[in-house]
Structure 1
Amino acid sequence: MESPSARTHENSLGDCENKNNGNGNTTMMQGIYHERQTRHLCGLHALNNLFQCPDTFSKSELDDYCTTLTPRNWLNPHRSWIGWGNYDVNVIMYALQQRNCEAVWFDRRRNPQCLNLSAIFGFILNVPAQMSLGYYIPLPFQMRHWLALRCINGIYYNLDSKLREPRCLGNEEEFIEFLSSQLQMDHELFLVLNVEADSTQKVQQRWLLPQFRG
C-alpha cells in the first residue's frame, strides 16, 4: 500500500507529462515520470524523479542553494567547479527542506526491516560511480551518484537517472530485500519524510516501526 506521506506530495502526472525543464531526457512508463542523466546532474534528476515532476527543481535553483550555503564567488564546495552539477549532500538536504521535507540518514548497519515504510515519502541512495574517459578508459578515482527510490501505486521503483526507464522493485517485502543488498555495499541511504506541521503530534523516530524506537 502506498504511504499516506507519499500521497501528500503526489503531483498530478497529467500536468507533468508534457513538461521538460531541459535537465535531461525524460520518459513516461505507465504514468511514472523518469528524468535521465545529463552531465553531473544526478542530484537534480534524483530530486525531480523523487517528486515525480520536472518542475520541482531546476539547475539554477540548486546552484542558488550552493551560494546560499556558502556565499563565495569561486570554487563553491557544494558543486562541481566547472558548473556541471555534482551537488553534495548539503544541497540535497537543503533542497528537500524547501519542499517541506527532511532527510534522515539511515545507518546501514541496521536491518531495513525496522523501517516504517508507511511513514516514509521516498528514498535517496548515494552510491560510488566509476569515472571513465569516454566509455572505455577507467580513471583512477570515483565520484558519487544520487538516485531516487519511490513507491508509486503500491509498487516500489528504482528511478535512477542512469537507467533507460524506471525499474520495478516489487512490493514492500521485495523492496526491503533490495535495500538490504544495497546496504551491504558502500552505499548511503537517506529516508525522505514530510515535515509534520503540528509539532504537538510529532512522533520520535517515526520512520522506525514502534518496536524499534528508543
Structure 2
Amino acid sequence: MATERKLIYHERQRLQFCLLHTLNNLFQEKDAFSRAALNAIARRLDLQDPNQSSWTPLSVVFKSHHNVVTGNYDVNVLIAALEERGKTVKWHDRRCGASTIGLDDKLFGIVLNVPVKRYGGLWKGRHWIALRRVDSAWYNLDSDFSSPYQFKNTEEITELMDGVISTGGEILLVMNGED
C-alpha cells in the first residue's frame, strides 16, 4: 500500500495581503487568520502605542500598522498574531549566515520579509513569505507562486535565506512556544 502524501495548503497573493496569506500558509489552515482578525490586531496595537501620531485625513486609510484598503500589515501585526497562537518570533542576526539556523523541531517555520520591485521598478515594497516543514519536507509557500515549492535539501533552503540576507531582506524564526 502506497503512502498517501499530505496536501499542502497554499494561498495565492491578492492585493497586498501577503502577511495574511503567509500566516495561513504557515499554519496550513485556510482561516487560521482572517483580514478582520489582523485588522483587530492592528487596531489594538494602535491603541497601545504610546507614540500614537495625530489624526490626518490620510490616517483613515494609512494606519500605523497596516493599510485599510490593500492590507500591507507590518511586522508588529505578524508578531502579535503569532503570539496569539503560542508561537515566539526570533529575528535572525543578519551578520550570521543562514547556515547557523537550526531546522529542528523547535522551529515551527520561517517567515521572510524581502524587498520587491514591481511595475518596472516604479513601485518598491516588501513581501512576506512562509517556509514550513510539512511531514519531513520543507516548502516555500510564497503566495506569489502558483503552487508550493518543495525544497530538494537543506542546502537549497540555506541558499535562499543567504540570498534574502544579501538583498536586504529579513529572516524571522517562528518557534514552537518559548525558546
TM-score for both structures, normalised by structure 1: 0.71
Cα displacement string for residues 76-116 of structure 1 (whole angstroms, at most 9, x for unaligned residues): 21111x42100000000110011001111112220222222
Partner of 2:118: 131
Q: Distance in 2 between matches of 1:183 and 1:154?
A: 25
Q: 1:47 pairs with 23, 38, 47, which one?
A: 23
What root-mean-square deviation, in Å, do the aligned CA atoms of Structure 1 and Structure 2 show? 1.9
Partner of 2:129: 147
Partner of 2:51: none
Task: Indicate yes or no: 2:117 matched with 1:117.
Answer: no
Of structures 1 and 2, the one scoring higher in RCO (CA 8 A, sep 6+) is 2
User: Contact conserved, 1:157 with 1:170, CA < 8 A, in 2?
Assistant: no
Which residue identity does 1:127 align to in structure 2?
V
Gap runs ≥5 in structure 2: 48-54
Task: Indicate yes or no: 2:68 matched with 1:92.
Answer: no
Paired residues in the alignment total 163
User: Contact conserved, 1:34 with 1:159, CA < 8 A, in 2?
Assistant: yes
Q: Distance in 2 between matches of 1:131 and 1:87?
A: 18
Alignment of 1:59-78 (within 5 A): 59-71=35-47, 74=60, 75-78=62-65
Partner of 2:50: none
TM-score for both structures, normalised by structure 2: 0.83
For the residue of structure 2 that corresponds to 1:192, the secondary structure is strand
For the residue of structure 2 that corresponds to 1:62, the secondary structure is helix
**1:43 to partner: Cα distance:** 0.3
For the residue of structure 2 that corresponds to 1:186, the secondary structure is coil
Q: Distance in 1 between matches of 2:91 and 2:85?
A: 18
Q: Distance in 2 between matches of 1:145 and 1:192?
A: 17
Q: Distance in 1 between matches of 2:6 and 2:144?
A: 19
Q: Distance in 1 between matches of 2:111 and 2:168?
A: 14
User: Contact conserved, 1:169 with 1:178, CA < 8 A, in 2?
Assistant: no
Which residue identity does 2:133 align to in structure 1?
C
Q: Distance in 2 between matches of 1:138 and 1:30?
A: 38
Which residue identity does 1:164 align to in structure 2?
S
Q: 1:175 pairs with 157, 163, 166, which one?
A: 157
Cα displacement string for residues 111-130 of structure 1 (whole angstroms, at most 9, x for unaligned residues): 22222221211000001122
Question: Which stretch shows the higher mean deviation, 97-106 or 29-38?
Answer: 29-38
Q: Distance in 2 between matches of 1:42 and 1:177?
A: 22
Identity %: 39
Runs of 4+ more than 6 Å apart: none
User: Contact conserved, 1:103 with 1:192, CA < 8 A, in 2?
Assistant: yes
Q: Distance in 1 between matches of 2:153 and 2:86?
A: 27
Gap runs ≥5 in structure 1: 1-28, 197-205, 207-214
